[in-house]
Structure 1
Amino acid sequence: MLSPHATRLEVWGDPIAHSRSPQLHAAAYAVLGLDWSYGLRRVDEASFPGEFAELDDSWRGLSLTMPLKSVAFTAAAHRDRRAELTGAVNTLLLAPTGPYGFNTDVGGIVRSLADDGITDVERARIVGAGATATSALVALCELGVREIDVVARRPEAVTPLAELGGRLGIEVTAASFAASHHSAVDLTIATLPGEAPVTDAAADALARSGGLLLDVVYGHWPTVLSAAWGRAGNPARSGLGMLLHQALLQVRIFRHGDPDAPLANEVESLQAMRRVLEEPTTA
């Protein structure tokens, strides 16, 4: 059991000032009647062990963003299946038996796509081969995908994704940004940082056959890719939906210890969190 005084939470990462997580969590806790505090702290990989060791029993848990998902994975004494598959933890629930690590990015992707009526997919594309691409691959597996093209600058970066795909029964094929034509897919998930350079020609080639675009970026919008999808007349979504739903799963974890256990007043909590994202921001 958690300490009855465990009411403190934060999101850690570097950079972190742009994070919308404090507002999202505060909105949910207000609906749920929870007197919990949720702040943010700039923490990088080198400082994580020392900062983490200083947490006392007033702390309930942490949300982790880049670049801390791998070190949080190592810090977790117990992990859920999504964390084990991806090697990434973005949520730590602190407990006397050791930290419990979860990956709610996977569920955030799945649930955000469901908002667009996408609950099963045959063929998909992932743009980028970094850490978030692994969560995208696991999410696509949960949606029934059996073939995925991964567009990456370095073909060797696709190898770990192909190996994971093989374990999950998915055929993963490497593709190049330089290609002028790509096989048609039902869905594209872009996992590139917002400032990643992509030429208009490469973006247009991807957009022509890319189906709906889910771009995990939300702080740099529109992106080069979303603009290309607009030119092609195809729908594009920012990462705000993913952010919203992964945060809701985190609230479930911090409340019940289980991302699959719905909250009391969950509909109202989600509505309050959506309203936060509709508010203007100066970030």
Structure 2
Amino acid sequence: MTGRTRLAVWGDPIGHSRSPQLHLAAYRRLGLDWTYDRRRVGTADFADALASLDDTWRGLSLTMPLKEVAYAAADELDRHASLTGAVNTLLLGETLRGFNTDVGGIVDAFTHAGVTAVRSARILGAGATAASALVALSDLGVDAVEFRARRPEAVDRLRPTAETLGVRLTTVDFSAPAADVDVTVATLPSGTVLEAAVATPLAAVGGTLFEAAYAPWPSALAALWPSANVISGFEMLLFQAVRQIRIFRHGDQQRELPDEAVTVDIMRSASMED
């Protein structure tokens, strides 16, 4: 590899992404003279954009709507990518290696908040993040997951994954009576507001809330929840980025960075800067 090492986050839209602040703060801390930019790339442009990269490029972060096309493009997949059908990290080279760090980011967000074991859970929504949430909950030890989605049929695509993981999956209407669960994972689009008659009972028996959305904050759902039991989606963004940096540095999302706790604190601070 010649020239300065280059990385970037791709997606559409992409202007709102905080990934450059997070990654660049970590690279400075680690003494790496690496660049990390953002680029607007849609699904129709992805193949040509990927083919245009030269050997100065180390890797890519992928956000919506590119996670499925990146999955299809990868030569090798890690376990979490295989289970979810989504790749948010590509390590470039002779072999194109695809990873999903969203799953680990959710696990790390729960763990950082003191939630290290989960038996029962409720997932709100059935979009792209729901698949990563399902796998993350399995990694935390969940036995059963209840889904509530606008389109219950959308949950059907997750049933094979649940069967592979040995997780019992059920689907109910948003307005159905709610039983106690250890955690609730909200994967609804940012800005979604559930009727109070629906949201209030869920907050009463929903355990710890992981709200995937983080802007604006607090979300309407998080505002109803006991504040001590709420985890912002920013935590997933932060910890999945840490795992991406592990991959770009070591080729392995399980191998920690030097003095990683310090690096995480620096990344968190950098995200608050304009």
Q: Give the alignment's TM-score, normalised by structure 2.
A: 0.96
Aligned twin of 1:185: 181
Residue 64 (1) aligns with residue 58 (2): no
Deviations 1:124-151 (A, max 9, x none): 0111101110000000000000100011
Q: Distance in 2 between matches of 1:158 and 1:217?
A: 20
Please give the residue correspondences for 1:44-193 in structure 2 after superposition, counting only pairs within 5 Å.
44-96=42-94, 98-179=95-176, 181-193=177-189
3-state DSSP class of the match of 1:119?
coil
Residue 63 of structure 1: CA displacement?
Answer: 0.2
Asked whether the 8 Å contact 2:106–2:133 carries over to 1, the reply is: yes
Could you say what secondary structure the match of 2:43 adopts?
coil
**Corresponding pairs, count:** 274
Q: For 1:16 and 1:148, locate their aligned partners in 2 and report how far apart those are by CA, in whole Å.
A: 32
- 8 Å contact 2:4–2:35 — kept in the other structure? no
Which of 243, 246, 254 lines up with 1:252 in the alignment?
Answer: 246
Deviation at 1:6, TM superposition (A): 6.1
Greater than 6 Å deviation, 4+ residue runs: none
Give, in angstroms, the shift of residue 49 of structure 1.
Answer: 1.2
Partner of 2:11: 13
CA–CA separation in structure 2 for the residues paired with 1:176 and 1:163: 21
Quote the residue 1:22 is aligned against. Answer: 20
Kept in 2, the 8 Å contact 1:200–1:224? The answer is no
Structure 1 residues 280 and 177: CA distance shift in structure 2, 3 A:
farther
- Structure 1's unaligned 5+ residue stretches are none
Is the contact between residue 4 and residue 33 of structure 2 (CA under 8 Å) also seen in structure 1?
no
Deviation of 1:197 after TM superposition, in Å, equals 4.4
Q: Secondary structure at the match of 1:221?
A: coil
- 2 CA distance for matches of 1:4 and 1:205? 58
How much does 1:5 deviate? Answer: 3.7
Structure 1 position 184, deviation (Å): 0.9
Counterpart amino acid of residue 77 in structure 2 = R
Counterpart amino acid of 2:139?
E
- 1:200 Cα offset (Å): 2.4
Verify the 8 A CA contact 2:193 2:221 in the aligned structure 1.
no
Indicate if the aligned counterparts of 1:6 and 1:57 stay in contact, CA closer than 8 A. no
| Percentage identity across paired residues of the two chains | 53
Code of the aligned partner of 2:239: H
Q: Distance between the aligned counterparts of 2:116 and 2:2, measured in 1?
A: 39
Cα distance, 1:84–1:6 mapped onto 2, change above 3 Å: farther
List per-residue Cα deviations over 1:190-232 (Å, max 9, x = no partner).
11110334222222122111111011111221212112214xx
Unaligned runs of 5+ in 2: none
Q: Once the 2 structures are TM-superposed, how far is the Cα of residue 280 of structure 1 from its aligned partner?
A: 4.9
Task: Choose from 210, 214, 217 the match for 2:210.
Answer: 214
Question: Aligned AA for 1:217?
Answer: A
**Separation in 1, partners of 2:184, 2:4:** 40
Note the alpha carbon deviations across 1:155-203, whole angstroms, 9 max, x for none: 2111122221111110000021132x21110101111110334222222
- The answer on 1:226 being equivalent to 2:212 is no
| One-letter amino acid of the counterpart of residue 236, structure 1 | V
Contact 2:84 2:131 in 1 (8 A): yes
Query: Which of 20, 27, 36 pairs up with 1:38?
Result: 36
TM-score when normalising by structure 1: 0.93
C-alpha RMSD of matched pairs (Å): 1.4
